[in-house]
Structure formats: structure tokens, C-alpha cells
Structure 1
Amino acid sequence: MDKKQWKTVAISAATLLLLFLLVIWVFRDHYQEILRNIQAVSIRELLLLLGMGLAYQMLESAVCFAMFQDIPQLVETIINEDADRVIQEHPSIESVEDCLNAAIRFALENRKTVLHIYHSINRDIYEQYQWRVCEHAVTTYVDGILAGRTVAEPDRNLMIDYLKCMCFGFVVGWLETGMQEGIQSRFHRICELKRGDLDAMITRCEKK
């Protein structure tokens, strides 16, 4: 290699060493716990352990590129893991309010991180996650209340689409406000105002 190539290699090696030392220093209070649990934790749980706000900033460093092809891939992995967890933890949904609460849980637990993602070029990844969670929650809820009722499949699908769009739109509108406080009380109020709507829709479908 010529001098220019050696210089490039030396700079790269020095940069990696500095990044390694930076990671050790940043995570100095957590590394023993990480080593104890490294075989058991998921990617999402590991980042939560280190602090989601700091972890998201680290996504933009070269450290993450050693494990993932790019930042969107890592973000998508974390979010998909949480979507799977939400689905597993909600085998049944009792109300539209439960649908909404399931849809916002990740955002409430990781407020700063979600806002970073939502206002970044990776926004579509979070929207896909939100759509998937809303779809699962609403479908589970509708299928539960339709048990024993006679409703045609097209009408069932319309109900699911209607509630899914309502939940998704409500959550995205909330994110646009910067996740203002009081979202759950607003959910509760809108559900009170709409109480009986779905039952009326089902009754009309059965009369056809």
C-alpha cells in the first residue's frame, strides 16, 4: 500500500478505537448487567436497558453498522419486535378503548425515541408498525363481538377498516401534536361518545 492508503487505514483504525472507547465509557454503568443477560435479551430489550433516548442517538454511529446494513433496518427490527410483543400480549380485546391503548403503548413507554423516528426519514417504518398494531387490535375486537352474530364477510371487513382507520388516524394526529398529555382521557371520552355505534352497525347488517 502507498502512503495515502496507509494513512486512510490508520485514520479508520483510530476512529474505530475511539468509538470503541466511547461505547465503553457511555455504557460503563450497564456493561456488567448486559454481559449477564446478553444471551437472553432481545435487541429491543437491550436498547431499552441502555436507555432508548441514548440508544437511538447511537443508531447514527458507525457502531451500529457493524451489526446492521443501515439505520432503517435496525429501527425496523426494534419496532417489529415490539409489534410481535403487543400481538402476543393481547390475545383478546374487550373494547375500542383497549384497541387505542394497545396502539399507543410503545409511544408512551418510549416518547422521545418515537418522536425522533416519527420526524425522521424513517417515519414510514413507525407508521407501518402502528398500522399493524391497530389492525391486530381492531380485528381481534371485532371478531370477538361478532361471535354468534350473523354478519357477511364484506360487512365484517368494512367494520374492521373503519375502526382501524379511526385508531390509526387518532394516534397519528396525536403524534403530530408532539404527543401532548391527556391522550388516554381523550380516548376514553371519544369512546363514551361513540358507545353503541358498532352494535347498531351490526344490527343493521343482520337485518339485511
Structure 2
Amino acid sequence: MAKQYTKETIQSVFIEMLNERPLSKITIKEIAERSEINRNTFYYHYEDIYELLSEIFQKEIETFINEYNDTLSWEDSFISASRFALENKKAIYHIYNSMQREELRDYIYNVAGEVMGKYVERVNRNIGASKEDEIMVKEFYQCALTEMVLRWISTGMKEDPNLVIKRIGKLFDGNIERSLSRSGSL
């Protein structure tokens, strides 16, 4: 119980610090001081800041998977899955502009994959496209969403992501179903 509390405190302090300044300006010593622990306690839980960051992203993905609602559209699911990024825009921007950009890209890619995978699988239950085509459609939208989010971050996250995602949904409405339906004739 105390171990979990300590880890949650470290994670919370780290996210708070990321919202204040770039990743490169955060030290383990500062995290430990703000968390009111000693450095050895930090190292008991994490090898370094990058392992801490990786665990935070993994935890967010697991939270989404556990809270996934099969009745939501992919747009609403993606917005729900992006809750952490929307609540911590500065932290995300600081990570994007650090050496850990790849960690952020992987996190976004995994979230997009979970959202699109579950949605495409649900749509395909009524269509019966081959598993290979189902995977291909999922991966196409996973890649497209990942790049859209990375572009949004790189341009300063000025646009309202809810409006952008909803608009993409309207522009491409029905394309997933049509793509899966074509599978049988290929």
C-alpha cells in the first residue's frame, strides 16, 4: 500500500513539474524533494526519469482499456483516451520537444491503436471482412490519427482537439464500413 502511494506521489509530482518546465530541466533530486522522499526511494521504484515517463504512459493506456465503452463512436473513444494529454498540454509539449519524443509518439500510436482496433473490430462483427483486412484498416487509421495528433502538438496545440476529431469523423463517416465491406470482393 505504501509502495503504491509513493509511486503515485512520484508520478503526480513529475507530471506537475512537466507542466511547469521542459523534461531536460527536471532532475531526480527535485522530484525526490517535492515528493518528500529521498533519492534512494526514487531509485527503488524507477531506474531513471525515462522509466517513470514510460510507466505513466503505460498506466494511461491501461486506464483507457479498462474504461473502454463499446457503445462510443471512435471519435468519442479517442477523445476519452486523450484525456491525459488534454489535461496536461504543457507536459505533452515539453515531452514532444525533448529527447523522449519517441516515447510520446509510441504512447499516441498505442492509444490510437486501442481505439481504432476496438472500433474496427466492433464494426466488422456485422460485416465479416478477413482478419488481415480488419488489421489493415485499423492500422491505417491508427497511423493517420497518430500523425494528426503529432502535428497538432508540433503546432502548439491551438485548435480544439474535440472539434478537429469530430470534424474528421464527419468527413470520413462510413469509410471504415465501406473498406471492410470491400474485403470480400478482393
Q: Does TM-score exceed 0.5, indicating one fold?
A: yes
Alpha-carbon displacement from aligned partner over 1:97-144 (angstroms, at most 9, x marks no partner): 124314422110111111111111111112111111111111111111
SS in 2 for 1:191: helix
Q: How many residues align?
A: 171
Report the equivalent of 1:15: none
- For residues 88 and 180 of structure 1, what CA distance do their matches in structure 2 show? 30
- For residues 195 and 186 of structure 1, what CA distance do their matches in structure 2 show? 14
After TM superposition, the structure 1 = structure 2 runs for residues 45-56 of structure 1, keeping only pairs within 5 Å, are 47-48=11-12, 50=13, 52-54=15-17
Report the equivalent of 1:204: 182
1:82 to 47, 51, 60: 60
If the length of structure 1 is used for normalisation, what is the TM-score? 0.71
CA RMSD of aligned residues (A): 2.6
Q: Which has the larger radius of gyration?
A: 1
Report the equivalent of 1:162: 140
1:100 to 49, 69, 78: 78
Q: Does 1:190 align with 2:168?
A: yes
1:145 to 96, 120, 123: 123
If the length of structure 2 is used for normalisation, what is the TM-score? 0.78
- For residues 84 and 71 of structure 2, what CA distance do their matches in structure 1 show? 17
The more displaced of 193-202 and 51-60 is 51-60
Task: Spell out structure 1 runs of 4+ moving beyond 6 A.
Answer: none
Against the structure 1 CA distance between its residues 160 and 93, is the aligned structure 2 distance closer, same or farther, given a 3 Å change threshold? farther
After TM superposition, the structure 1 = structure 2 runs for residues 117-132 of structure 1, keeping only pairs within 5 Å, are 117-132=95-110
SS in 2 for 1:92: coil
Q: Give % identity.
A: 23
Report the equivalent of 1:61: 28
After TM superposition, the structure 1 = structure 2 runs for residues 8-87 of structure 1, keeping only pairs within 5 Å, are 41=5, 43-44=7-8, 47-48=11-12, 50=13, 52-54=15-17, 59-62=26-29, 63-64=31-32, 65-66=39-40, 67=42, 68-87=46-65
Q: Aligned AA for 1:133? A: V
Shift in Å, 1:42: 7.3
Whose relative contact order is higher, 1 or 2, with alpha carbons under 8 Å and at least 6 apart? Answer: 2
Shift in Å, 1:53: 2.9
